[in-house]
Amino acid sequence: MVAPPCLPANEIAAVHARWRADLPPLFAADADALLARISPPRWALEWSLPRWLGDALSVEPAHSSELVLANVYGLAYIRIQDDLLDGDAPPAERVTAGRLSDALYPAWLAVYRRLLGSEPAFWARFEQYLAQWRQATLASTQPMPTSLRAFTAADFATLGQRGAPLKVCAAAACILAQRQEWLPPIEAILDELLVAAVLLDHAVDWRADLAAGRANAFVAYAAAQPQTGARRGANRLAVLNELAAGATGRPYFALIHSRLAVAAGQAEALGLMALAHYIAWLGGQARTLSRNLSYTTRQWLRRATSELLPGVA
Amino acid sequence: MATLAQMDRLIGRALFDAEFRALLLADPEQAARQLRYRLDGGQIARIRSLDAQALDEIARRFESAIAQPVQSLSFW
C-alpha cells in the first residue's frame, strides 16, 4: 500500500511522548498497544487533519500541535467506544478498554479547555458532532435500506456520521483562527469524505461485517436483500456472485469516486491543498482495490475454467 | 462457439448461483442462451461432464483467493 500523506515523524513522536506522559501509568501497556494500532501510516487523516487545517487557517503552530494531540485522544476514545459496541473487544480486555477510554475522554476535553476555555461556539459544535456520532452508531445497529439504490441522502449522511467526531478539530481550528465562516464549507468537505471512507471500509470489511451480523453497504449493493441472520448465507453467496459473475463492485466504487471528487473539488476551491492531496490518495487506494479485485477475479476464473474444462476453455 | 471470457462468465455464474448451476449442468445450451452466448458441441459435452462437487471445490477456493484481508484505511 502506498503511504498516505501524513505528519512528519517528529510531530508524531511528540504526540507519542505526550500520550505516555498524560495517561495514567496503570494503563501504560494497554495505552501503548492502542497507540501502536492507531499510529501512522494508519489513521493518517486523523493525525494530520488538525495540522493541515491549522496551517491553511494560519493557526499558531503550537496550537495546531495541541489540536493534533486532542484529535488522537478523542478519536482513540471513540474507537474504543465503537469496539465495545461492536463487540470487537475480547471479553478479557473490555474492563481495561473501558478504563482506558475513561482516561482518554477527559484528556481529550482538557486540550480544548486549555485552548478555547468555555467558548460556546466550540462546545456547541462539539456536542453536535458527538450527537451525530451517537445517532449514527445507534443507526448502525438497525437494519439499513435493503439495497443501495434505496439509500436516501440522509442514509448516506448517517453512514458518514460514524466519523463525525473528526469534525471537532475543524471547529476548533476555525474558532482559534477567528474564521468561523470557514467551518460550514469544511464540514461539507469532511461529510463527503467521511461517506466515501465508510463506503470504502464496507467494501473492505464486508465478510467480517456479514459474519458478525453488522449492516454493510457493500452487501446492500451486491445482495439487495434484508441483512438478517436468516439471510446471512444467501447474502454471502450474492456478494460472491457479484464478484465472480457480476460487475465486481464497479458501480459501488464509482459512487465512492463521485463522493471523493466532490470533496476534492471543494477542498481545492478553499485552498486546502494538503486535504485535497489526501483525498486524491484515498481515491487512489479505492481505484487500486477495485482494479485488484477485478484483475484477481478475472485471472482466477480464467485458471479455474481452464482447469475445469481443459481443451475447450 | 463461446469465447474464453464467456466460458469464464458461465463458470463464474455457476459457482455461487445454485439455480444457474443446476441449469448449466442439466442444459448447458439453455444456460448459455440466458447470457446470450452460444456453445459449440465440444463445449456442451465438456460442461455436461462437470459435476457439482468440482464446482463446489472451485467455489471454495475462489472465496479464499479473493477474500484476502486488506488493511482498513481508517478508524471507522
Q: How many domains, chain B?
A: 1
Q: Do the Cβ atoms of B55 and A308 come within 8 Å?
A: yes
Q: Is it the case that residue B75 has pLDDT exceeding 70?
A: no
Do the domain assignments include residue B18? yes
Q: What sign for the dihedral angle of Cα A129, A135, A138, A143? A: negative
Do the domain assignments include residue B24? yes
- Diameter over CA atoms, chain A: 77
ipTM value for the complex? 0.87
Which residue on chain A is closest to B46 by alpha carbon?
Answer: A309
Which residue on chain A is closest to B21 by alpha carbon?
Answer: A241
**How far apart (Å, rounded) are the C-alpha atoms in residues A249 and A238?**
12
Over residues A125-163, the pLDDT tens digits come to 999 999 999 999 999 889 999 999 999 999 999 999 999
Contacts of A237 in chain B (CB under 8 A): 16-18
**Mean pLDDT of the residues in chain A:** 93
Do the domain assignments include residue B47? yes
Please report the DSSP string for chain B in residue order: ---HHHHHHHHHHHHH-HHHHHHHHH-HHHHHHHTT----HHHHHHHHT--HHHHHHHHHHHHHHH-------S--
Q: Do the Cβ atoms of B61 and A304 come within 8 Å?
A: yes
- Residue A46 is nearest to which of B11, B67, B75, comparing CB atoms? B75
Do the domain assignments include residue B39? yes
**Mean pLDDT of the A96-107 span:** 91
> For position B68, what pLDDT does the model report?
58
The model's pTM: 0.91
Q: Do the Cβ atoms of B43 and A163 come within 8 Å?
A: no
Do the domain assignments include residue B28? yes
- Residue A38 is nearest to which of B7, B17, B75, comparing CB atoms? B75
The candidate with the shortest Cα–Cα distance to A6, out of A38, A62, A51, is: A51
Over residues A224-264, the pLDDT tens digits come to 999 999 999 999 999 999 998 899 999 999 999 999 999 99
Confidence band of A90 (pLDDT split at 50, 70, 90):
confident
Does residue A165 belong to the interface with chain B, where contact is any CB pair within 8 Å? no
Q: Do the Cβ atoms of A313 and B7 come within 8 Å?
A: yes
Over residues A254-295, the pLDDT tens digits come to 999 999 999 999 999 999 999 999 999 999 999 998 998 888
Residue where the block lists cell 439495497 = A147
Do the domain assignments include residue B46? yes
| Structural domain containing residue B29 | 4-60
Q: From chain B, which residues contact A within 8 Å (Cβ)?
A: 4, 7-9, 11-13, 15-18, 42-43, 46-47, 50, 54-55, 58-59, 61-63, 65-67, 70-76
Which residue on chain B is closest to A296 by alpha carbon?
Answer: B66
Residue A210 to chain B, least CA–CA distance (Å) = 13
Do the domain assignments include residue B14? yes
Does residue A298 belong to the interface with chain B, where contact is any CB pair within 8 Å? yes
Over residues A58-89, the pLDDT tens digits come to 999 999 999 999 999 999 999 999 888 877 66
Do the domain assignments include residue B73? no
Which residue on chain B is closest to A240 by alpha carbon?
Answer: B16
Which helix (H) or strand (E) segment holds residue A261: the answer is helix A250-270
